[in-house]
Structures are given as structure tokens and as C-alpha cells.
Amino acid sequence: MTAVAPPLDVARRVAGAAQGRPLLVLLDFDGTLCEFQPSPEKVWLRRPRREALQRLIAMPMVTTGFISGRRLSDLRERIGLTGDMWFAGLHGLEIEGFGRHFVHDRVEEAGGLLGVLGRALRQHVEHLPGVFIEDKELSIAIHVREARPEHKAEAEAAFRRMVTPHIEDGTLRMMPGSNVTELLPNIPWNKGDAAKWIRDAETGRRRADPATIYLGDDVTDEDAFAIVGAEGSIVVGPRPSDVETRLENPAAVEAFLVALADELSRRAG
């Protein structure tokens, strides 16, 4: 596993790579910008991180974007920033920013089935402490971070038992994450596709290819790392990854964002 890098060193490297070019800063939300909480409703962007991001958003040559498994509207509310930026929800199945709005044309296909499965799953696991079913309307996530090992195993077994027929017939797909498994419409689209869509939109908007970085903590972020490449990839936390640059935790991400804003301001002069 790669060693943890000092946030200031990472900020100076990113600022140097972006010298004379637009900079696109893309971030995951849960586990990257914010520490995990027992339930998704308790996660909000802390004020110092919001202030650091607001400084970046105000810089003419910097664009910020957020790519999350959350619904787009929920992500926007919890970030609470003002100004122009990109938001991508449901792992990029819905994207908006700068007057543009994208929803994958197949996203509604499995909506009714997911609603039925969500209600049934909730009944099957509601007796298990620490297990939480999150119904996002167009996806379902089972969270087991706070569950004991035996309860986690029971919940995951019930989840797989109920969803396997719909995965085998090609209607739905499972996406494993950090103590969460998500059920989505079986659409070949992920955070990497979202990162590419946003980067291409930025290239067209600015008429220049931006230097692009992506910060993420989860296995679902590996697709975005593949798109931005080794120089632009920053993994957050202890999860094993081939990414060469690692920040320790969301607090280190905060320090990186502050340092990046300071370094860009200093270089702009």
C-alpha cells in the first residue's frame, strides 16, 4: 500500500501541474470530503471544508465537481456551496452544472422493481441492529457499517437472496462499496463515465483540456481514477489501491484543499 502523503506536498504538486491550464477538481463525498456516520442522513460538509472549496470555486481557472452515489439533489443540499460547479449523483447517472443537465436515458427502467425490493428488504432486515436500507428511488443501498459481524452476514445473505434473480436476468446490478452494497439498474455507467463526461464538458466550455484531479476513498472511485490517470488520482484512507498518491482521511483532504487554494492564490500573484 502506498504511503500517506503530506497534504501540502500534494497541493504544491497539483498546483504545479495546473500551471497555465484550467484545473478541474473532482471529489467523492462520503468518506472523502466527510467522515462516515452511522446513517447517511447524518453526513454534512463541515464548514472549514466548505470555505476551502468556496475559495477554489471563486478562482477563474478552477472548476470543482462532486461525484457521489447519493441522489444529485441530496448531494447538492449536503454540500451547501454557492456558485457554478458540477454535481453527479447515482454514480454519475444524473449530472448537472453550468446550465447543463444529464440523466442517462435508461435510468427509469427498473424504478418500479427497485421500489418493491426496497420495501421487502427493509422488512427482512429491520430486526438487525446496525443495518440500514437506503432507498434512493432509482437505487437501493444496504449499509452495514454499524452492524455486528453476525448481523452483517445475515443482512448481506438476505440481500443477495432477494436480488440474485434480477441480477441473473440482467435487469439490475450490484455495486459493492465500503460497508455498503448498492443495487442499481443494469446500465454500463459508473463514476469513471461521469468524470469523463464532466471533463469533456469542461474542455468544450473552456476550449482547453483541463488538468484534472479526482479524490476518492471507495472501490467505486477506481473507475474515475482510471479516467484521470495516475497523475490526477488521489486515494483517501487506508483502502488498498494502486493509486500512488494517498491522503490519510477527510481531515487531510481538508488540509489539502486549504493548501491548494493558498498555493494557487500565491502563484496567481
Active site residues: 28
Asked if residues 25 and 62 have their Cβ atoms less than 8 Å apart, the reply is: yes
Q: Read off the DSSP letter of residue 217.
A: -
| Packing angle of the helix pair 47-57, 250-268 (nearest 10 deg) | 30
The H-or-E segment that residue 22 falls in is none
What DSSP state is assigned to residue 58? T
Q: Count the alpha carbons within 13 Å of 176 in the hemisphere toward its beta carbon.
A: 3
Task: Give the separation between CA 140 and CA 122, rounded to whole angstroms.
Answer: 10
Task: Say how far apart CA 101 and CA 103 lie, in whole Å.
Answer: 7
